[in-house]
Amino acid sequence: MLKNKLAILALGLVVAASSCKKFLDLTPVSSTTTGNAYKTGDDIEAALTGAYGSFMATNFYQWEIYAHTDVRSDNAYCGGSNDVDYYQLDMNSVPNTNGSVYRAWTELYAAIARANSVLVNIDNIKDESLTTERRQQIIGEALFLRAFHYYQLVSLWGGVPIERYSNSAASKDINLPRATAEGTYTFIDSCLQVAVRSLPASYGADNIDKVRATKGAAYALLAKIWAQRPERNYTKVSLYCDSVLLQGYSLVPRYADLFDGNHNYNTESIMEIPYIANTSGVINWGTEMLYPTHDNGQVPSDTWQRYCVPSRTLVSAFDKAGDVIRKNASISFESVPWSDVFWNPCGAGDVLVPFAFKAHNPSNWSGGDHTYLFRLADILLLKAEALANLGDLELSASFVNQVRSRVKLPDISGNSKMELLTIILKERQLELAFEWQRWNDLNRYNVTVSTMNGLGETYYNCNNDGTMTKGAAVNYNFNDNKTVLPIPLTELQANPNLTQNKGY
C-alpha cells in the first residue's frame, strides 16, 4: 500500500509549462474518478495523492494566488506588462468576467472535489490491509484539505456554496445556493474538528510530517479561521495557537535560510508544498512567473516582465523599520530589459527594479522551491494578535519580539491595545510578504479601505532626456464591496441559485 512516502505526491500529476504558456490545462471536475474505481487500500491512497496534488496542479497555488493576495494589497503591483486580468486585480476594479477570478473559483472547487471523492468513497473500501488507524488518518487528511480550500474561497468571495458530494447527480447536490460567510467558516470548523482528532502529530519522518496534514497543520488552520471569520473569537485563536506551539516547532535561526532552497522540512515549517526541481509533475513552474531564470547571474536581455512586482510602499516599510535582513530575503533589486511605470519608466539599465524573491530558483520553468502553507512565525504573530485583543499587552509583545529578535530588530512594547495591534500588523507585513497573508490581514484588521485609499502611490513618466518624474496619482477608489471578489459570470449563468456580491 502506498503509505508514508513522499513519492506518492508525484503520482498521476502532469504539469505542462513553457515560456509561452501561462496556464495549466486542468482535468474537468466532472471527470474526477467515481466510486466504481475504489476497491482497495491502494485505490483510496491514490485518490488521496490526487487530492494533495491540487497544490501542484493548479494555476492558483502555483502563482495566481499571489495576484489575489499580495497584488490586490499594498505589497505589490501586478507587473507582467499589466495583463488585463492582473491589472484589474491590482486596481481592485474586477469585473465578473475576469479570467483569473474564474480560474481561482473553478480550480478551488476542483480541489475540493478531489478531497470529497476520498471522503465519499472511503467507506466502500473493504480491503483488510487498510487498517482502522490509517482509515481515520485518510479521513482527517481529506477533511483538512477540503477545509483549506474552502478557507481560500471564503477569504476571497465571502460565503460560497458548500459542496459535500462534488460528483453527485442528485438534484439536492447541484445548483447549490451560497452559504453565508459565517456558515462557510462554521463548515470549515466542523471539518477541522474531526480532522484534528483523526490526524497524527507525526508520521515519523520530517519530510512526511511537513507535506502531509498533521495535528499541527489542523490547529494552525483553526487558529486562522477563528481570527478571520466575521464573529472573531480571540480566546479560541489563542488556544489553537497554543496547540500549535505544543507540537514542538521552533524558529529557524537565520531568516534567509527559510527561502534558500537548502532548508526544506525545517523546524519552523508546519506544512509546505514539496515541489521537486526538474521532475515531471512536481515542479514549481510558478516561480518563473515571479522571478526569471538568470544568465550568468543577470536577467536575460530577451526576457519579459515578471508578475507581483514589490511596491514602493512595501520597500519603504522595510526601510523605515531598518529591516535589512527580511528585505534582502524578500526582494531582489536588479537591472532589467523592460520599462516599468512604477520603478523604471525609461527602461534604463542602471535603474534597478525589484522582484518578489522568496522563491528564486526557477530553473527554466522547472524549479523546486517549496512553498509554505503554514510556518511558526505566522502563528507566533497570530498569538500576539490574540493576546493584544484579549488585553495582555506585555505577553503579546513578547511573542512579537521572538520574531523580531531573529532579524536583529529591537524589542517593541505597546502602550495600548491599538498601538500594539498596529505594530503587529506591520510586523506581519514585513515577516510574511509574498506568503499570501497580506490581504487577509488588512481585511481582518478592518483597515483595507483606509490602507488602499491612503497609499499615495504614483505612476512615473519618462522624460525626453531619459530622466523619470512622478506622474499621475494611482486612485484605487476603494470601498468595502471590493474586499471580496465578484462571483464569476459563467458560474452565475450555470447556477440560477447563486447570488452576486454587493457592488458587482
DSSP 20: T
Strands 269-273 and 371-375: antiparallel
* 178: its cell numbers: 451560497
* 333: its cell numbers: 533589486
The CA distance from 417 to 408, in Å, is 24
SS3 259: helix
**Orientation angle between helical segments 376-390 and 215-228, nearest 10 degrees:** 40
> Which of 386-390's residues contact partners 24+ apart within 8 Å by CB, and which partners?
386/227, 386/234, 386/235, 386/237, 386/238, 386/241, 387/238, 388/414, 388/417, 388/420, 388/421, 388/424, 389/232, 389/234, 389/417, 389/421, 390/234, 390/235, 390/238
Phi, psi of 356 (to 5 degrees): -65, 125
> What is the pLDDT, as a whole number, of residue 434?
98
- The dihedral over CA atoms of 82, 88, 90, 93, expressed in degrees to the nearest 10, equals 150
Task: Give the contacts of 470 (CB within 8 A, at least 6 positions apart).
Answer: 458, 459, 460, 461
The CA distance from 341 to 258, in Å, is 31
> What is the pLDDT, as a whole number, of residue 168?
65
> What is the pLDDT, as a whole number, of residue 353?
97
> What is the pLDDT, as a whole number, of residue 36?
54
Residue 325 to residues 252, 257, 316, Cα–Cα distance (Å): 14, 11, 14
The CA distance from 210 to 205, in Å, is 9
Task: Give the contacts of 315 (CB within 8 A, at least 6 positions apart).
Answer: 327, 331, 354
Under a CB-based contact definition with an 8 Å cutoff, are residues 33 and 166 in contact? no
Instruction: For residue 123, count CB atoms less than 10 angstroms from its CB and return exposed for 0-12, middle for 13-18, buried for 19 or more.
Output: exposed
> What is the pLDDT, as a whole number, of residue 10?
35
Q: Partners of 371 in the beta sheet?
A: 273
The CA distance from 48 to 9, in Å, is 9
Q: Report pTM.
A: 0.93
The CA distance from 10 to 205, in Å, is 18
**What structural domains and CATH numbers belong to the chain?**
6-280+373-449+481-494 (1.25.40.390)
Under a CB-based contact definition with an 8 Å cutoff, are residues 356 and 290 in contact? yes
- Residuewise pLDDT in 10s, the chain (504 residues): 433 333 344 333 333 233 334 544 433 333 344 445 789 999 999 999 999 999 999 999 999 999 999 999 999 999 998 899 999 999 999 999 999 999 999 999 999 999 999 999 999 999 999 999 999 999 999 999 999 999 999 999 999 999 998 776 665 668 899 999 999 999 999 999 999 999 999 999 989 999 999 999 999 999 999 999 999 999 999 999 999 999 999 999 999 999 999 999 999 999 999 999 999 889 999 999 999 999 999 999 989 999 999 999 999 999 999 999 999 999 999 999 999 999 999 999 999 999 999 999 999 999 999 999 999 999 999 999 999 999 999 999 999 999 999 999 999 998 899 999 999 999 999 999 999 999 999 999 999 999 999 999 999 999 999 999 999 999 999 999 999 999 999 999 999 999 999 999
